[in-house]
Amino acid sequence: MKIHFPLKNRRQNRWGAFLPATYLFLVIFGVYIFTPGLPSSISFFFVRPIVAVGYFVSSSLSFVGRILLPGALEREHTLLEKQAAQVRELKFENEAVRSENSALRGLLSIEKNSETVRAGILTRPPRTPFDVFTLDAGLSDGVRAGSRVLYAHSALLGDVVEIGKAVSKVELLSSPGKITDAIVESRGSAIELTGRGGGNFIAVLPQDFDIEVDDVIVTPGKQGYVVARVAAVVSNPTDSLKRVLLTSPVNIQEVRFVDIVLPLE
């Protein structure tokens, strides 16, 4: 003979199982909160499952939100790209500081027969041809054709190619087609850069040439002025050569002042 229990009793049975569990949880939580002297191992044993469940629920909701909210994945991807760029910039700044220290040490010895003059930039691209500056210093300031132009005494930007009484024209190293001999600072390997304009360079190297993104490129010699930073390495395993894309150590659109090296006569 079948016995049918009333629905009310079934509900009471479910509540009867749930209430003791709730009561036990509240007791454990109260003991943990109001008993500072409770041994950490015991409290950790009881509280850890609760924390784990809460973390799982929070992570799951966050993941679902990133999927469902319009544009959430794109925004997160953009944020990660910005953070990666900041890390690269910090690494480059560290390399630049080391190069500047080296250059300053060189100034104490190798540049005893030279001095510098500060000059402001009057015009720059796009008001001038690609990668050409016009400076407010000229013959009257001691500037000569071929004088090197530096930024912050550590980065070599270019050379004076034309000069007047109070102005001078500087062709940057990144000027299209301009060839610059340099070395990879961390390895001492020689490299030839070709200007592409807009503060950019390119180098074509053997496939097995050791070079990486964010490597700092400097001039040969004791001073080691910073010339460029590796931005990308384009390589195809089936080719014997690879292309290395580089950028100027400073944003040429934001530079306001430069230093011109003047040989003493």
In the prediction, which pLDDT does 109 show?
42
| CB of 229 closer than 8 Å to CB of 219 | no
Amino acid identity for residue 73 in this structure? L
Give the mean pLDDT of the chain. 77
Note the Cα 261 to chain centre separation in Å: 30
CA-closest candidate to residue 173, choices 247, 82, 95: 247
Arithmetic mean of pLDDT, 129-144: 91
Q: Which residues contact 260 (CB under 8 A, 6 or more apart)?
A: 116, 117, 119, 135, 137, 141, 143, 147, 148, 149, 150, 160, 168
Q: How far is CA 128 from CA 125, 134, 170, in A?
A: 5, 8, 11
Angle at 27 between CA 22 and CA 30, to 5 degrees: 120
* Position 19 confidence tier, pLDDT thresholds 50, 70, 90: low
pLDDT in tens, 146-188: 999 999 888 999 999 999 999 999 999 999 999 999 999 988 9
How many whole angstroms separate alpha carbon 156 and alpha carbon 151? 6
The neighbouring-strand residues paired with 245 are 202, 232
In the prediction, which pLDDT does 149 show?
96
The burial of 135, by beta-carbon neighbours within 10 Å (0-12 exposed, 13-18 middle, 19 or more buried), is given as buried
Neighbour tally for 137: CB within 10 Å = 24
* Position 237 confidence tier, pLDDT thresholds 50, 70, 90: confident
29 phi and psi angles, rounded to 5 deg: -65, -40
How many whole angstroms separate alpha carbon 103 and alpha carbon 153? 7
Q: How far is CA 191 from CA 198, 225, 231, in A?
A: 20, 14, 15
The burial of 130, by beta-carbon neighbours within 10 Å (0-12 exposed, 13-18 middle, 19 or more buried), is given as middle
* Position 190 confidence tier, pLDDT thresholds 50, 70, 90: very high
| CB of 95 closer than 8 Å to CB of 185 | yes
Segment holding 230, helix H or strand E:
strand 226-234
Note the Cα 108 to chain centre separation in Å: 31
| CB of 178 closer than 8 Å to CB of 171 | yes
Query: pLDDT higher for 120 or 100?
Result: 120
In the prediction, which pLDDT does 111 show?
44
In the prediction, which pLDDT does 112 show?
45
Q: Taking the model in full, what pTM does it have?
A: 0.58
How many whole angstroms separate alpha carbon 237 and alpha carbon 225? 33
Residue position matching structure tokens 């340099």: 182
Neighbour tally for 260: CB within 10 Å = 24
pLDDT in tens, 71-109: 666 777 777 777 776 666 666 566 655 555 554 544 444
